[in-house]
Structure 1
């Protein structure tokens, strides 16, 4: 019987999110594909430095060792490299002892088309177009941003934080805020407090994380999750009731009422934070590894402005 990925948390990640490939990428941009190929072959025995999402991946894979029996987490490498130029990536995976057994090397083409083929719950990449494509296909995906600060207070736990609207939840409430302002948003959320929000792109990923948390039972669970939202406590009830209706429990919920998120994510010691708004991502990445989720009305509005400016320039 062939192996399957059923009942596993599957995380697909690009090689540039897993490892620091900036030197090679600079060669590609400045000198072209052939120079890049020579560079990677010449350096294939040089171990790559960890990338922005390396710690997240290492902690995810460590869950398999802690559970012991059947592996519950699968990390898939997706790369624009060819298998030839990607040999350095393979060597680095082995050097760091990462249990990554499956990969797709796409020879210059976008690898996102393999996200559904691998039944992925999450796709992490540094290529925003690939991330947008995965989101449009209904998969949780984020553009991994470069960190402003390299300081990390590493814990043994895997700690993941999420924004709410347009990430865990749909952007339904955010659309009201964008169109009609804060007062209308607050009134709408109060009047709809008993009506669950539709799920956003990260709902299935969060649900699978919780399934794994529950497997630890009475043992200490190495996974901790948090909702870190700009909502204030005046708009909290619908969020709580929505999660309750989904039978999903977050370990922490922080309602900031518009405060910058960075300091709170530092206090939570997040290994990764996911948010749809660039300004919140900029605040977060000063302290923690951050994934921008280019989804929802805020990003749609931004894309429209950029497209209009581009048309005017033409």
Structure 2
């Protein structure tokens, strides 16, 4: 019987999201694929620096220490080929990360391999791969550059989410962007008892909640937060939605337009997911952040 990934939290991460490969990527952009491959092979013994997703992955993998059977599986999915993979796998070993599975596509699109690996979350620095994953129904986000040189180890993983177009659908955001704040507030009051539709990260939140349920609340290894620009009275529908989904969010911040980055930083997020550049430009300076490219044709055509 094959190894069962169905009941685990499965994170697929690209090598450029796990490690800092920005200099190597510049070689690829300037000199092409062959020079990039050559450089990686020549520097095979040099351990790669930590990338934006490193802290999240390391702290998530620590959850497995509490169980005889893994709860979290991390898989490397990369556009590198097998020949250049050795530098990456040697760096994984050097950092003592328990990552045993990988996929190397040799430059081809890697999103088509996410479903076979039962992926719950895909993190990459490649915008096209992330968008393809979202289109396939996989929670995905584009990692933004962040200096992870100072390692922050914790016994509790902290994950922060924006609301609309991340945990929830973009329906309410469309009303706000096309009709303005007053129309949005009126719409939310009228629909306060109607649960919001699920967004691209709703399933991920359910999987996380399943892990949390295996611990007493005060000892949960994952702490989650909603950090949204919504305010009262538009918060009511969000709370009712989470209750209807029977999922737990440990902390919630309804900021009403206040800048998010200080709250994200105070929460101590190992990763913050948002769909808007205006927020991510500031949060990515102080906390690992990733953009969810959840924009349908409907909103693009109507803004």
Fold equivalence (TM over 0.5): yes
For residues 215-273 of structure 1, what are the alpha-carbon distances to aligned partners after superposition, in whole Å with 9 as ceiling and x for unaligned? 12366112100000000122110000000000011000000001110011011010100
**Alpha-carbon separation, structure 2, partners of 1:231 and 1:152:** 32
Answer yes or no: is the 8 Å Cα contact 2:59–2:153 preserved in 1: no
**Alpha-carbon separation, structure 1, partners of 2:232 and 2:217:** 31
Answer yes or no: is the 8 Å Cα contact 2:92–2:99 preserved in 1: yes
Q: Structure 1 residues 69 and 217 mapped into 2: Cα distance closer, same or farther (>3 Å)? A: farther
Q: Match for residue 143 of structure 1?
A: 142
Answer yes or no: is the 8 Å Cα contact 1:64–1:73 preserved in 2: yes
Answer yes or no: is the 8 Å Cα contact 1:230–1:256 preserved in 2: yes
214-223 or 104-113: bigger deviation: 214-223
Q: TM-score, normalised by structure 2?
A: 0.95
* Displacement of 1:149: 8.8
Q: Match for residue 311 of structure 1?
A: none
Please tell me whether residue 133 in structure 1 is matched to residue 132 in structure 2. Answer: yes
Aligned-CA RMSD value: 1.9
Matched residue SS, 1:184: helix
* Displacement of 1:2: 1.5
**Alpha-carbon separation, structure 2, partners of 1:298 and 1:154:** 40
Q: Unaligned 5+ residue runs, structure 1?
A: 306-314
Answer yes or no: is the 8 Å Cα contact 1:15–1:77 preserved in 2: yes
Show the 5 A alignment for 1:1-314: 1-65=1-65, 67-147=66-146, 155-217=154-216, 220-296=219-295, 300-301=299-300
* Displacement of 1:147: 2.5
Matched residue SS, 2:107: coil
Matched residue SS, 1:75: strand
Matched residue SS, 2:244: helix
Matched residue SS, 1:116: coil
Q: Unaligned 5+ residue runs, structure 2?
A: none
* Count of residue correspondences: 303
Answer yes or no: is the 8 Å Cα contact 1:124–1:141 preserved in 2: yes
Answer yes or no: is the 8 Å Cα contact 1:174–1:297 preserved in 2: no
Matched residue SS, 1:234: coil
Matched residue SS, 1:215: coil
Answer yes or no: is the 8 Å Cα contact 1:149–1:286 preserved in 2: no
**Alpha-carbon separation, structure 2, partners of 1:157 and 1:274:** 18
20-29 or 79-88: bigger deviation: 20-29
Matched residue SS, 2:213: helix
Matched residue SS, 2:76: strand
* Displacement of 1:24: 1.6
